[in-house]
Structure 1
Amino acid sequence: MSRAIIEQYFTAFNAGDTDTMLSLVSDDVEHHVNQGEVRRGRAAFAEFCSHMGVSYREELRDMVVFLSEDGSRAAAEFMVHGEYLQTDPGLPEARGQAYVLPAGSFFALKEGQITRVTTYYNLQDWIAQVAA
């Protein structure tokens, strides 16, 4: 079941289906991002998803999902294929630039829900691609 939850999460991400993503996370989900503060709770995660949907269009490809034996942890490695749509404060100006970069996400799962999402990517690589 844990693998199915992670696969459903990423399928929803690629479809821009935030409602399904939100249904898969716990009320007290912790969202750790590459750069920035930890967001706590479904409402904070929803706000992040809403912002991302306006500023970026991304598709995750070449997905490989890993799962712990007990199903309480999962990880995924993938390539992010994106387009920078709207300028994010403190980042280069958006002009519809395309980018491709490797990334990974780590999850904690409990009682059929995602309780933690941690995502890593090389921010300097992304900046170099969109600033060119």
Structure 2
Amino acid sequence: MSRSDAETTLAAYYAAFNAGDPAGMLALVTDDVEHRVNEGGIRHGRAKFAEFCAHMGVSYREELRDLVIFANDDGTRGAAEFTVHGEYLQTDPGLPEARGQRYVLPAGAFFDLQGGRIARITTFYNLSDWVAMVSA
């Protein structure tokens, strides 16, 4: 896989995210994908990632803007930086009550890629900043 191939795969992943297309996202991950979320546990496998996507689609409406994608020369690692523009739709356990609050939050992600698919997703954002935004 080349740098260009990795960047194309990651761009397709984020295009599917912005389109609200979890099936499109799932098509781009390996069967044994490792999903690491900021201040959360590790999900292993496509089924667990699908559960996460379904939950996110109910609790949040998000669009990623200002997307910049990076990849190493051999296309095995990648990163993305973006701004999340979102709306908090349904209360997540342990988080503030959802009332349709809007938020804008800088975030980023790191990836491992294998065989043209995403094998690891590690996402970072400042949870304290998000809580402050939806609590105001």
For 1:77, give the aligned amino acid: E
User: TM-score if structure 1 supplies the norm length?
Assistant: 0.99
Structure 2, unmatched stretches of 5+, are: none
Q: Secondary structure at the match of 2:27?
A: helix
Aligned to 1:94: 98
Moved over 2 A (4+): none
Task: Say whether residues 1:62 and 2:71 are aligned partners.
Answer: no
User: TM-score if structure 2 supplies the norm length?
Assistant: 0.96
Partner deviation per Cα, 1:14-48 (whole Å, 9 max, x = no partner): 00000010000000000000011100000000000
* Residue identity (%): 67
State the alpha-carbon separation in 1 of the partners of residues 74 and 9 from structure 2.
14
Q: CA RMSD for the aligned pairs?
A: 0.4
Aligned to 2:27: 23
Aligned to 1:118: 122
For 1:107, give the aligned amino acid: F
Match of 1:6 among 7, 10, 30: 10
Task: Say whether residues 1:53 and 2:64 are aligned partners.
Answer: no
